[in-house]
Amino acid sequence: MSLQVDAFRGALEPFTPAYPWIVFGAGVLLGWRFHRLQPVLALLVLFAAERTLVAFGDAGASLADRAVTASVALLLPLDLAALAWHSERSLRAPAGRVTFALLLAQPLAVALVRAPELAPLARALDAGRAGAQGLRGVVLTQPELLAFGAALALASARFALRQTLIQSGFLWALLAAFLAVGAGTGLAATVYLTTGGLVLVLALVETSHRLAYDDELTGLPGRRAFEDALLRLGGRYAIAMVDIDHFKRFNDEHGHDAGDQLLRMVGATLTRTEGGGRAFRYGGEEFAILFPGRSSTEALPHLEALRRAIEATSFTLRGRDRPRRKPKRPVATGPRRKLSVTVSIGVAESDGDEADPRAVVNAADRALYRAKGAGRNRVVCAA
């Protein structure tokens, strides 16, 4: 087994120098293209740490070089935790500019550690490294372990508050940084840190994909995802168009915040579509549902169940003066009026493999207008 591992490592070694340049370069370009400063800064921090460990991380290096490695071990986790707590907006605010200035100052500070005049500081940073033990050969001093522990706690707390792919990527990057700093130098440090960066890049790509294809308000796939799904349809299928009745009047009477609350409620109900149906936010107050492999007749009972479920669902509007956090002693404000809405649905089916999905959508739209003309709150099949 050890011979196989050595052979695999030997096969990878020629590609190791290019690995960080490819991953971090691609990640920075993607972050710039998608206007995501937070992951870009994290990738630059990881890349700087990787280059520093490659240059100064030799276990047999001088005291000054070991002090540089110790500085990376202390600063890297704290930098990642600080960036994890920033948002895209806060990074462009004064607090973000302070963070950016501190990040820019760190390379100079680490370089100064090697100065002969700062030998006492170098010895303090290196103190305790000899004989220090860690996880599976990862050797870190107590201050370095404390830095990673604090960073992990901060990043975990941030993830608990905001469970996004980017925040998950920060946790994995911290784990990779812990293993890389313990490895010190060579193939392992480069692979660990670059793989941590790769996780952030993949999280960035997936997040950007979701922003492009998912509707943020309802959580449903959006119009672009619907258009892509149409391209993959073939054979028999049914398409239903769903419209909230009197939505404009509801918005005018109760405000746009109430309208958003209504859209979320309807979207949540549509996610429970049975019969193999998949719901999409088509635009405005209109939704679409695809039923691959189903006819209109087969989809009809499931659409009728959705219509009845939405009609039977009532919800209470959030008051504009409602506090963001529940007070210790809530003050009764009197009964709130519960509201309910209805939807109209039109459904059409394909007439064979040559059917144009766009023509089926148009037929479902015409059926939807017939449902509205017949009094709303009903399901109508295309003729």
Summarised one tens digit per residue, pLDDT across range 42-85 is 999 999 999 888 887 665 567 777 788 888 889 999 999 999 99
Gap between the Cα atoms of 117 and 212, Å rounded: 54
Distance CA(308)–CA(368), nearest Å, equals: 16
Could you give the angle at the alpha carbon of 349 between the alpha carbons of 378 and 301, nearest 5°?
Answer: 40
Q: Is 285 a catalytic residue?
A: yes
Percent of the chain residues topping a pLDDT of 70: 85
What is the count of structural domains for the chain?
2
CATH of the domain at 307: 3.30.70.270
Say if CB 363 and CB 347 are below 8 A apart. no
| Coil, helix or strand at residue 81 | helix
Catalytic residue (one of 88, 144, 253, 285): 285
Tokens read off for 252: 């005018």
Q: Are residues 135 and 114 in the same domain?
A: yes
Q: Which of 303, 299, 304, 279 is closest to 238 using CA atoms?
A: 299
Give Cα 287 distance to the centre of its chain. Answer: 24
Give all strands (DSSP E) within the chain, no chain letters: 237-244, 278-283, 286-292, 314-316, 338-340, 343-349, 379-381
Q: Does 294 map to a domain? A: yes
Average pLDDT over residues 197-225: 92
Residue 196, token pair as written in the block: 């941590």
Specify the pLDDT at position 263: 94
Tell me the per-residue pLDDT of 224-279, one tens digit each, with 9 for 90 and over: 999 999 988 888 999 999 999 999 999 888 888 889 999 999 999 999 999 999 99
pLDDT value at residue 181:
84
Q: Which residue range forms the structural domain that includes residue 249? A: 223-319+338-381
Q: Please indicate, yes or no, whether residues 286 and 196 belong to a single structural domain of this protein.
A: no
Residue type, 10: G
User: Is the residue at 328 inside a domain?
Assistant: no
In terms of average pLDDT, the best of 21-35, 131-145, 304-318 is: 21-35
Indicate the helix (H) or strand (E) that contains 236: none
Looking at the fold, whether 234 and 201 belong to one and the same domain comes out as no
Residues 150 and 243 grouped into a single domain:
no
Q: What is the pLDDT of residues 314-327, one digit of tens each?
A: 877 765 555 555 55
Pick from 97-111, 206-220, 330-344, 361-375 the range whose average pLDDT is largest.
Answer: 361-375
Asked whether residue 43 falls in the same domain as residue 87, the answer is yes
Are 160 and 27 in a shared domain? yes
Contact 347, 303 (CB under 8 A): yes
On whether both 240 and 125 belong to a single domain, the answer is: no
